Structure 1
Amino acid sequence: MIQRIQSVYLFLAALVSGGLIYVFNLWTLKTGVQVMAFDLLSNESILLKTIPFSYLLSALLSFIAIFIFKNRQLQFVLGRLNMLINLYLLGVLIYVSQTISGEMSISEKGIGMFIPTIAVLLLVMANRAIKKDEDLVKSVDRLR
């Protein structure tokens, strides 16, 4: 049952969260240095260190949810948990981009800050498809 549409959405969410952080930068400093997600691990702030871990946790949860297709309820819960992680990540990125050094050191925001938004949209579509499957199974069980 891996060929279901929610598996495609979950795979794309895992690819977006885990793969695109290596391609797109989060922001560019005034000195022209592009800050990627894993560059934040060397920062002294704990809040900044949670960003790359949140990206990887989101990708891992999406990937795990693909293979739990026999337990749709757990798959649905993992999707919701993953949405919460991505919303936390989006909030942290917006907070950091607005408050880091009084906004003076960041000259340009990168597209990497919108990766959690794309992941949330894919997870919403996956959860909608999981719910649709669950409703279909319940309706068939009623007929028995």
Structure 2
Amino acid sequence: MLQRIQTVYIFVSALVMAGLYVWFPNITDEAGTVVIARDEYLVFGLVFVSIALAVISILSFKKRQLQFVLNRLNIISNFVLLGVFVYRSLKISGETLVSEKGIGVLLPIISIVLLVLANKAIKKDEDLVKSVDRLR
């Protein structure tokens, strides 16, 4: 059913990733060259994959095992995106003109936490269904 708590978690995770793409700034170094751009193929591809996996996971609410696997793949893609952000932000030498390297690095972490919570809820539902089947 679409009103389950894991659907809410997955939907908020998709919104966080969409917000990452919309509000993600270009990070520049002291010389003014762009280090991480929003329109970069790798960043755009990983954000798109994360949003697509979340939507497919929401639509496959009747198949809990598939939903669980899709969320795991989404977590892996978010870890790769986080790794890209951390690698690129560490590549910036010293401080930038503005002392912040971007809040966008935290958004994949929020998405990962939401997906883990969704997987816990899916596992709880699966255990409940198995326990009911045992009683028959």
- TM-score normalised per structure 2: 0.87
Q: Trace 1:1-144 onto structure 2 (pairs within 5 A).
A: 1-25=1-25, 27-30=27-30, 31=32, 37-38=38-39, 40=40, 49-100=41-92, 103=93, 106-107=96-97, 108-144=100-136
Deviation at 1:98, TM superposition (A): 1.2
Aligned with 1:21: secondary structure? helix
Give the superposition deviation at 1:25: 2.0
Letter in 2 for 1:137: V
Deviations 1:88-132 (A, max 9, x none): 1101111111125xx268443111111110100000000000000
Q: Which runs of 5+ in 2 are unaligned?
A: none
User: What is the CA–CA distance in structure 2 between the aligned matches of 1:138 and 1:21, rounded to whole Å?
Assistant: 39
Show structure 1 runs of 5+ residues with no match.
Answer: 41-48
> Cα distance 1:62–1:22, how it changes in 2: closer, same or farther (>3 A)?
same
Cα distance change, pair 26–127 in 1 and its aligned pair in 2 (3 A): farther
Distance in 2, Cα, partners of 1:16 & 1:34: 22
Greater fraction of residues in helix: 1
Give the count of matched residue pairs.
133
RMSD: 2.2
C-alpha contact 1:21 1:36 (8 A) present in aligned 2: no
